[in-house]
Amino acid sequence: MRISTVISDIIQIINRSHSDLQNLAADDHTQYLNVARHDLAARHPLSVLDPLVCSEAEADGKITAHEGLADPHTVYLNVARHDLAARHPLSVLDPLVCSEAEADSKIATHAAAADPHTVYVLRSILTTQGDIFIRGAAGVERLGIGASGYFLKSQGAGSNPVWDAVVSGVGIEATTDDFRANPATGTSTDPSQINNNNTADSTSFTAVDQYAEVNFKKVVCIKRWRRYGMSSENSGNRYKIQYYNLSTHTWVDWVTDIPGYTTVAWSNYSTATEVLTDKIRWIMTTHAATGYIPEADVVF
């Protein structure tokens, strides 16, 4: 090692720096540790570490032993330590939570109320099959079942509806157009030809109790009838006209013992008892021969 310049004064020695030395390497102090000489696994064996430091094998063993414990964390709550009634006393619950005694008391008070559910209709209001609910003056109330054949009649705003008997005059007065509005049905042959406004064809009857039924499909008043004759009709045949009783819901004889009509023309209207109905039947009661009725009419 030498100095690159001549020293002529002691002060020059004091002022010289390490870099003024020649023939020295970048790492001339190998007896000291730098990063490269320190960071070696061989420089840190377990033998020179603190005894509290464990090896990887020791750590694995300790973790395995810990995992094998039934309940290693007893300072924390698990299901068994949490789900205990003693851990949830009323004193630590929300004040809105009530005790069993309080709940029983509230239920008992509710059950004792005469009508605890005022927003609902009491089922007990209806006592008999056929009863219905109506809105009365003060609220929902019962309207008891009406008599057989009665209809529900409105009495206008401010009044309760009532059941009322069907009486003459309630229906409209039947017209020929009403009689022909709906094709007849029944057990006679081609029953619809009895009210199709065509006298060139006819419904025929070949046995007692065969009938042609005309349904007005509305309530009408009737009191007169007529029919169109046919030369091939047998005057020995007999017929009757029945009407459907709206009160008793049964078929009732209206005109009986009607003889076969052989004149090819309309008969005069005959008058019978005025009745209220919604349908009629023309029925054969005596069969002398095949009966023919080209057209009929039942009106007010």
Average pLDDT over the chain reads: 86
pLDDT of residue 228: 98
Burial grade of 110 (CB within 10 A; 0-12, 13-18, 19 or more): exposed
Rounded to whole angstroms, how far apart are CA atoms 259 and 253? 16
Residue 1 has pLDDT above 60, yes or no: no
Q: How far is CA 43 from CA 32, 57, 123, in A?
A: 14, 20, 93
CA end-to-end span of the chain, whole Å? Answer: 151
Q: What is the CATH number of domain 172-299?
A: 2.60.120.260
- What residue has token string 């020995």? 236
Phi and psi at residue 15, to the nearest 5°? -85, -5
Return the domain boundaries, the chain: 172-299
Residue 169 has pLDDT above 60, yes or no: no
* pTM (2 d.p.): 0.48
Rounded to whole angstroms, how far apart are CA atoms 283 and 300? 20
Tell me whether strands 211-228 and 203-205 are parallel, antiparallel or unpaired: unpaired
Residue 267 has pLDDT above 80, yes or no: yes
Q: How far is CA 285 from CA 126, 237, 240, 245, in A?
A: 47, 8, 7, 20
Residue burial 201-225, b: 16+ Cβ < 10 Å; e: rest: ebbbbeeeebbbbbebeeebbbbeb
More confident residue, 179 or 75: 179
Most confident of 12-21, 66-75, 240-249: 240-249
